[in-house]
């Protein structure tokens, strides 16, 4: 139950994925083991990291469920979707949303080899009483802008901004423009964008489809920054 395809252009996060896998799998004293909250600012790539983790380690799980916590209603709806898909409840008709969630959580406690992703949980109070259990073969991955992972509670793992070199590598790869000696426009661009992966991806699409050069992009960006930020690529209509 993962609503996203594998992102073949995900890059520069290999160490982060390894750390995430270790934290979900290991047993550490005085920690909320097997439950990790990926946190960081908007646009830093938390959801994309979760997607990449799912596809990198899917062979380790029998079941993978994805719940959107963008709203409280979507969070509760996610448990209903699990109930319907898994058939762990004979019928959800006539049951309240929180009753369904409680029955799904009770069922999950009896299962093994599952991963649940709870995406965009910025209001951590919504998850109180709705967290799956924790065990070596029962993993929960949460993405959130809220750095207070202890308040969830979960082990926290920050998704940091990319470094300059990683940002430049991403810009070249996504814009389809190979590196050229003696040109410093890519570094200027990524610094302008604060090394934020979402912004770099947007800029790379604009360069690939509109300006076709880094220099022309910088000129356009300085003159019409708002228009560039609001631009939607042909593949995202």
What is the rounded distance in angstroms from the CA atom of residue 75 to the CA atom of residue 126? 8
Radius of gyration of the chain (CA): 20
pTM of the predicted protein model: 0.90
Q: What is the pLDDT of residue 12?
A: 87
Q: Which tens digit of pLDDT belongs to each residue from 180-218?
A: 755 799 999 999 999 999 999 999 999 999 999 999 999
Q: What is the pLDDT of residue 225?
A: 86
For the chain, which residues make up each domain, given as ranges? 14-158, 164-223
**Which ranges in 57-127 belong to alpha helices (H)?**
72-86, 97-109
Question: Edge to edge, what strands does the sheet with 63-68 contain?
Answer: 63-68, 114-119, 138-144, 35-39, 155-158
What is the rounded distance in angstroms from the CA atom of residue 149 to the CA atom of residue 18? 19
Q: Which tens digit of pLDDT belongs to each residue from 117-145?
A: 999 999 999 999 999 999 999 999 999 99
Q: Which tens digit of pLDDT belongs to each residue from 149-177?
A: 999 999 999 999 999 999 999 999 999 99
What is the rounded distance in angstroms from the CA atom of residue 159 to the CA atom of residue 164? 15
What is the rounded distance in angstroms from the CA atom of residue 182 to the CA atom of residue 179? 9
DSSP 130: -
Residue 194 bridge partners (DSSP): none
DSSP 88: -
| Tokens at 227, concatenated | 């228009």
Q: What is the pLDDT of residue 182?
A: 56
Residue 114 parent element (H or E): strand 114-119
Q: What is the pLDDT of residue 237?
A: 45
In this prediction, residues 63-81 reach a mean pLDDT of 97
CATH topology of domain 14-158: Rossmann fold (3.40.50)
What is the rounded distance in angstroms from the CA atom of residue 237 to the CA atom of residue 63? 32
Q: Answer whether residue 236 shows pLDDT above 80.
A: no
What is the rounded distance in angstroms from the CA atom of residue 72 to the CA atom of residue 70? 7
Averaged pLDDT of the chain: 93
Q: What is the pLDDT of residue 181?
A: 59
Q: What is the pLDDT of residue 72?
A: 96
DSSP 3-state of 68: strand
Q: Answer whether residue 39 shows pLDDT above 60.
A: yes
CB-CB contact of 39 with 20 (8 Å): no
- Beta carbons within 10 angstroms of residue 230's beta carbon: 9
Residues 6+ apart with CB under 8 A from 150: 156
């Amino acid at each position: 139950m993962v609503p996203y395809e594998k992102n073949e252009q995900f890059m520069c996060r290999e160490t982060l994925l390894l750390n995430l896998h270790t934290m979900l799998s290991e047993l550490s004293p005085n920690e909320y083991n097997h439950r990790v909250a990926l946190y960081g600012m908007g646009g830093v790539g938390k959801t994309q990291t979760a997607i990449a983790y799912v596809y990198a380690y899917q062979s380790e799980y029998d079941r993978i469920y994805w719940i959107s916590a963008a709203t409280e209603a979507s969070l509760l709806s996610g448990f209903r979707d699990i109930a319907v898909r898994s058939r762990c409840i004979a019928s959800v008709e006539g049951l309240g949303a929180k009753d369904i969630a409680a029955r799904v959580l009770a069922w999950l406690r009896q299962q093994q080899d599952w991963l649940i992703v709870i995406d965009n949980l910025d209001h951590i109070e919504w998850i109180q009483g709705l967290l799956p259990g924790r065990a070596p073969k029962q993993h929960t991955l949460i993405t959130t802008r809220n750095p207070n992972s202890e308040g969830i509670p979960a082990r926290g793992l920050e998704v940091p901004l990319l470094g300059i070199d990683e940002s430049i590598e991403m810009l070249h790869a996504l814009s389809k423009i190979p590196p050229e000696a003696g040109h410093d426009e890519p570094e200027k661009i990524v610094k302008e964008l604060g090394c934020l992966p979402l912004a770099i991806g947007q800029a790379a699409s604009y360069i690939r489809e509109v300006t076709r050069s880094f220099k022309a992009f910088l000129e356009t960006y300085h003159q019409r920054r708002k228009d560039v930020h609001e631009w939607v690529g042909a593949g995202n209509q």
